[in-house]
């Protein structure tokens, strides 16, 4: 994995952990969100950047 993808994965995992903690009670919705994030991570690093950006905005609120 190149360093750029490694940074994406680190951010993704950090966001994943925070989202799981914050939205734990939402059950099915959370599972759906993570399935989408995982698919996007493996299919499109550019889309992952968008997800990371959106996740950072959500976590900062």
pLDDT in tens, 5-49: 667 677 777 777 767 766 766 665 666 766 776 776 676 656 767
Which spans in 1-61 are helix H? 3-22, 28-43, 45-60
48, exposed or middle or buried, with CB in 10 Å at 0-12, 13-18, 19+? Answer: buried
In which band, very low, low, confident or very high, does the pLDDT at 55 lie, cut at 50, 70 and 90?
confident
This prediction's pTM: 0.41
Higher pLDDT, 51 or 43: 51
Which residue matches tokens 């950047």?
Answer: 49
């Amino acid at each position: 994995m190149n360093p750029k993808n490694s940074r994406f994965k680190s951010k993704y995992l950090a966001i994943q952990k925070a989202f799981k903690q914050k939205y734990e009670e939402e059950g099915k919705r959370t599972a759906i969100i993570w399935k989408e994030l995982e698919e996007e991570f493996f299919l499109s690093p550019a889309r992952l950047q968008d997800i990371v950006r959106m996740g950072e905005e959500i976590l900062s609120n």
